[in-house]
Amino acid sequence: MLGLRKAAQSGLRFYSSAVHIQTVGVIGSGQMGSGIAQVLAQVAKRNVILVDSKKESIEKSLININNLLTKQLNKGNITEAEKSATLSRISFSDDIKSVKDADMVIEAIVENPEIKSKLFQELAAICKPGAILASNTSSISITQISANTKTPENVIGMHFMNPVQVMKLVEVIPALGTSQNTVDVTLQLAKEMGKTTTLSKDMPGFIANRLLMPYINEAVQAFDEGLGTLEHIDTTMLLGCNMPMGPLALADFIGLDTCYSIMNILHTQLGDKYRPAPLLKRYVEAGRLGKKVGHGFYLYK
């Protein structure tokens, strides 16, 4: 009790683990944000406010969520009532101030340190006292992000895997100043979303991308050197190492711009061992970003 009293006197605000997260704001209605919103509403049965400054992105998100739920309905995995209930829990907005009363806000925007830091600074000013602010970043320092708020104890990393509706893992990353209460509440919410969690130290790439991205980067370098064709490199890893997807096809699925961004962060902070493959850079410069634009290492219809 003495420790909590001293913390309160110093101006720190802790979010009690006994408090139930009822409403969650999600910033960014792209593939990751839409997936997070859907699972929160469908599995965890939380009210969700999905925010994006682009109205066309919001409209696309609503269509995608509805289509995915319809597929589940047609397969007999959910009922019409469950589909309707899920959609009723999600509201859409192009105004960031709409999350001011949310118990928790999860950011899922572009993987850019400056843009994320600016957003968290804005959220800290908008959100109610004690609200947890989580970032879905895949590689950026949570401590760096939390430094832009006056309540770093409420900031945490919550790295979902893509696609969120299918992948079972969430990496939880406490920052240097994250309170244990924030960690506990985040772990509990992830569990109620049907996810398995791992805890990672706040290091570049965390666990998943610290291991995955160098693997993809080496495959790009091997392809550039003519070690094998696209198909032969991917098939070797697919059938020879029992990977669920070849590294180059996986890079296309993730987005070559995202892979390049993460490799740049690893390279800058961890050294030359993580230098991005030159071919990866050229593909990004050429706009061949992967499946989302129809052309990466492979050509998509």
The better pLDDT of the pair 112, 108 is held by 108
Can you say which residues are annotated as belonging to the binding site for NAD(+)? 28-33, 52, 111, 116, 138, 162, 292
Residue 10 pLDDT > 50, yes or no?
no
Q: What is the mean pLDDT of residues 142-163?
A: 95
Residues with catalytic roles: 138, 159, 171, 209
Confidence of residue 204 (pLDDT cuts 50, 70, 90): very high
Q: How confident is the model at residue 3 (pLDDT cuts 50, 70, 90)?
A: very low
Q: Is the pLDDT of residue 278 over 80?
A: yes
- Which pLDDT value is given to residue 6? 33
CATH architecture, domain defined by 23-199: 3-Layer(aba) Sandwich (3.40)
Q: For domain 209-292, is the CATH number 1.10.1040.10?
A: yes
Binding residues: 28-33, 52, 111, 116, 138, 162, 292
CA–CA distance, 56 with 165 (Å, rounded to integer): 22
- pLDDT, tens digit, 9 for 90 and up, residues 14-42: 444 445 799 999 999 999 999 999 999 99
Q: What is the pLDDT of residue 12?
A: 38
Rounded alpha-carbon distances, angstroms, from residue 208 to 12, 86, 203: 32, 30, 11
* Domain chopping of the chain, boundaries: 23-199, 209-292
pTM above 0.75, yes or no: yes
